[in-house]
Amino acid sequence: MKRTIGLLLAALLLMPLALHASAASVPEDMILYFAFDEASGKDLIDGKGGNKLTLDRESRRVEGRIGSGAVSFDGSTDQVLQTNSGMRQDLTLINTGNAFTVSLWVRFEAGQAEKGDQTLIGWGAATDYVRLFVQGGSQNLGLQTAGGYPYAFNHNPDVVGEDKAILLLDSDEWHHIAVIYDGAAKKVTFLIDGRTYEGIPSPETDWADTSYSIEAMKDWFTLGSMNDKSTANFKGMMDDVRVYDRVLREEELLALMKLGTPQEPEPDTPAVPETLDAFTAALAAVLGSGAAAAVFRRRR
């Protein structure tokens, strides 16, 4: 009897670990993933495609919003992360399907609102560059494309409402930011901390068939600046950068946001399933069906 109780308690204790391991796995449809969770060193490895970015110094590794690490940026050219050599084929998949989603966590250093744009992520050549950025002054989240700039207008309560208005560059807090580009639907959608913002053209024009077109990634990939490494540099911290070559549903992005959102503490006493069948199923998920059956097998 004591052995049976011990097995049951072990199963309950192991269950959260099994769920955590499942949540941390890299999805097949992701084409780029920088977790920044390496234990040490200057190299930052793309957990999906094997691409590499290199820090100018190891001390830029800081406590992460998700996992064990994040990366700090001081706004200088030396700290921009960029690659255009030795790229693996996976990186060139960005937007080959006329759609992509970018998701990341950022924390802007306070006092940056009047110091110009801050670029988070971008790719392409100087004449055809794509970037996700926040405007200096207005603090408006936007997406630069070859044909124009759709913006979230998150800074303007008259456009988005009081409950969704947020000044990102003044907050000095972690924020989950995402952009969804849907070329087929001619639509850009932004998410900030789970709140949705429709991309509004600026200047205000209809989105023609050729407007806001985005080429597939074929040149520089950059975190923290534009392709020249000296324009609109980011100052703050960044974590968990993910790029998908498809439109993610809003519920999928909310699930990503929850990975980095502090949760209410679990109660000390594990919840007990209401029925024996439910408990057996939970036990089998951890120990395997054979071991679970052995726990409850009656000796003759």
Q: How does DSSP classify residue 9?
A: H
Q: Which two tokens stand for residue 298?
A: 């009656």
CA–CA distance, 206 with 177 (Å, rounded to integer): 25
One DSSP character per residue, 215-263 reads PPP-SEEEESS-TTSSSS--EEEEEEEEEESS---HHHHHHHHHHTSPP
> In CATH, which of 3.40.50.1820, 2.60.120.200, 3.40.50.150, 2.60.40.10 is domain 35-259?
2.60.120.200
Find the helix or strand (DSSP H, E) in which 81 lies: strand 81-83
Over the stretch 170-215, which tens digit does the pLDDT of each residue have?
A: 888 999 999 999 988 888 999 999 999 999 887 655 544 445 667 6
User: What mean pLDDT is predicted for residues 233-248?
Assistant: 94
Supply the pTM of this predicted model: 0.76
Q: What do you get for the CA distance between the two ends of the chain, in Å?
A: 15
Contact indicator for 194, 176 with CB cutoff of 8 Å: yes
Q: Which helix (H) or strand (E) holds 29?
A: none
Domain boundaries, the chain: 2-21+271-296, 35-259
Q: Residue 157: is the preceding peptide bond cis (ω within 30°)?
A: no
The pLDDT tens digits of the residues spanning 49-61 come to: 778 899 999 999 9
